Amino acid sequence: DQNRRSGNFKPTIWNHEYILSLINEEYSEENYIKRASELRQQVEKLVRKEMEEKSVTETLKLVDALHKLCLSYLFENEIKNIMSRAYERNREEEMEGRRDLYSVALEFRLLRQYGYNISQDVFDGFKDEEGEFDRDLSYNNLALLELYEASFTSMPGEETLERARNFAAGRLRREREDESDETVSTLVQRALEMPIHWIPVRCNTAWFIDIYERRTDFTNSEVLDLAKLNFNILQAQHQQELKHISNWWKETRLAEELPFARDRLVECYVWTMRVPFPAGYSHLRTMIAKANQLVTIIDDIFDIYGAVEELRLFNDAIRSWDSEEIEKLPDYMKTCFFELNRFVDETACVVQKEQGINVVQILRKSWGDLCGSYMKEAMWYSTGYTPNLEEYIDNAWISVSGPLVLTHSYVFLAKPISDEAIRRLSENPHDLIMNVGLVMRLANDLGTSPDEMERGDVAKSIQCCARETGSSIEEARERVREAMNEAWKELNAAAMDGRVPFPEVFVRHAVELGRMAMHVYEKGDGFGTGNRDWKRSLTQLFFEPLPL
């Protein structure tokens, strides 16, 4: 063991007793649930009134607010009706003649967000004779902000939206210091850091609530009250789920048996904030959190601790699930395998009871595929081989665990489970799955690469790009950022493809996984290092209710 590498990972800041000490069941009480129901009915009346009496733009401003405040799931039918009516009333030829940039950009972004593949040509009326956005037109920062945000819904080949982004970003950077409205200035600054299309809303709800409360142009007290109370009710739900997975984690004893690996249970749970929020999805959230922690353990076995010959045995055992192969494993790998096997069986048992379908082999294959990608990276590291960028990406979109997580999610979200969809998850992956994995991988590399290189790891996309092109690390980072942007365009296109073999709820869930990666790795390795800022963010999300 003295020759084994160490990741020098910090111990968890969220031990079992600490998690239990932070749990507050106040907002699970009946009086708060009843008050939330009353507020929901009042806001529902407001939404219907807006539909009947207000302009399309005013109604869409409310829809946008409900989304950012993490309330849209409570009004799905009403919002679907609003977006359908907006699309029917505002066919592309009608929008093209309008000169209100704010309204056109807001409507365009929301229509695309809700799956309507509206043409970028709606912005042609804002261009000059050269095809550039007309710099002589006077736009306020809110209009420019909406144009900038809309540009991130772009798909491959949409040059107008690329020009829109560059035009709006340039103007916003120059003019935000002169913005008299502090709230608008804050919105602009945040968008330039991370656009709304790349943000997982639940992880930013408290921030949006603060912004909504400070705005004076269209804040509604009932919407605000519901947003705060719903945040706290969801937080109480999250705490119960954290209690469940913390009990599971303690029972496995993997943290004690495999002390070299990252113990990151709460960080693994935060990735589930993309799952639909009704209580009926609680089992899916806890299942994904458990899968994430097991992925983390196995990743550290391959990346850090395991000797090459041990890794070959481990890879063979998980890819075959054969008892003879399992018996060859060293004890620490057997411990990990037995917990993995129990998790897969329990997950398959739930699906069997709900749908009458045995998904054991489907789930096992996803773990085998993941370990196969880990094995390839381990061999690259052990032999000192640096792949070219394409070779690296062909493996890395799998090793980031996106396909595995989406496979486990699909068997819970799809009713019924489709053979074609299962095939397009792994054997012949759909563009949706591949580009979610690619976004996750590139966001991960941009956030974690320095730490991983320091402790000794296979070359990541940045190093592969730098070596292949002869560029500096900073130049390579910029190329990887550009590649991530292109992956988002491909992901947008896949999500709006009406022929996708997955249900709508799964498609939304898959895109949210890409957003979670953007959030987790926005300011470095929030997942692996467990730094103070990350702890503060998780504490606010899971354990600090908003004052009502």
Which residue would you say has higher pLDDT here, 332 or 9? 332
Per residue in 433-448, pLDDT (tens digit) is 999 999 999 999 998 8
CATH number for position 477? 1.10.600.10
Share of the chain above pLDDT 90, in %: 79
Which residue would you say has higher pLDDT here, 10 or 272? 272
Token couple for 307: 């000797």
Domain enclosing residue 170, as ranges: 54-219
Whether residue 43 lies inside any domain: the answer is no
CB atoms near residue 380 (< 10 Å)? 17
Whether residue 120 lies inside any domain: the answer is yes
Q: Say yes or no to pLDDT of 213 above 90.
A: yes
Q: Residue 391: which residues within 8 A CB-CB, separation 6 or more?
A: 464
Per residue in 458-505, pLDDT (tens digit) is 789 999 999 999 999 999 999 999 999 999 999 999 999 989 999 999
| Predicted local confidence at residue 172, as pLDDT | 94
Average pLDDT for residues 176-181, to the nearest whole number? Answer: 81
Whether residue 423 lies inside any domain: the answer is yes
316: confidence class by pLDDT, cuts 50, 70, 90: very high
Whether residue 66 lies inside any domain: the answer is yes
CATH number for position 202? 1.50.10.130
94: confidence class by pLDDT, cuts 50, 70, 90: low
pTM over 0.85: yes
Per residue in 331-346, pLDDT (tens digit) is 999 999 999 999 999 9
In terms of phi and psi (left: phi > 0; alpha: psi -120 to 50; beta: otherwise), the region of 24 is beta
Distance separating alpha carbons of residues 314 and 323, to the nearest angstrom: 12
* Partner residues linked to 127 by β-bridges: 133
Cite the DSSP H helix spans in 155-300. Answer: 159-175, 182-193, 205-214, 221-252, 254-257, 265-270, 282-300
Per residue in 40-83, pLDDT (tens digit) is 999 999 999 999 998 888 999 999 999 999 999 999 999 999 99
Look over the chain and give the mean of its residue pLDDT values, rounded to a whole number.
Answer: 92
Phi and psi, residue 80, nearest 5°: -60, -40
Total domains, the chain: 2
| Predicted local confidence at residue 91, as pLDDT | 63
Token couple for 454: 């320091």
129: confidence class by pLDDT, cuts 50, 70, 90: confident
Average pLDDT for residues 244-258, to the nearest whole number? Answer: 96
Last residue of a domain, which of 184, 219, 254? 219
Phi and psi, residue 282, nearest 5°: -60, -40
Last residue of a domain, which of 219, 238, 271? 219
Whether residue 477 lies inside any domain: the answer is yes
Q: Residue 513: which residues within 8 A CB-CB, separation 6 or more?
A: 271, 274, 402, 405, 406, 436, 440
| Predicted local confidence at residue 485, as pLDDT | 97
CB atoms near residue 29 (< 10 Å)? 11
Q: Say yes or no to pLDDT of 256 above 70.
A: yes
Identify whether the C-beta of residue 51 lies closer than 8 Å to the C-beta of residue 85.
yes
Whether residue 451 lies inside any domain: the answer is yes
Per residue in 215-247, pLDDT (tens digit) is 877 789 999 999 999 999 999 999 999 999 999
Token couple for 364: 């096992």
Q: Say yes or no to pLDDT of 451 above 70.
A: no
| Predicted local confidence at residue 261, as pLDDT | 93
Whether residue 502 lies inside any domain: the answer is yes
Q: Say yes or no to pLDDT of 453 above 80.
A: no
Per residue in 282-309, pLDDT (tens digit) is 999 999 999 999 999 999 999 999 999 9
Q: Say yes or no to pLDDT of 547 above 90.
A: yes
Distance separating alpha carbons of residues 87 and 67, to the nearest angstrom: 18
Last residue of a domain, which of 186, 204, 219? 219
Whether residue 333 lies inside any domain: the answer is no
Distance separating alpha carbons of residues 16 and 242, to the nearest angstrom: 10
Q: Say yes or no to pLDDT of 205 above 90.
A: yes
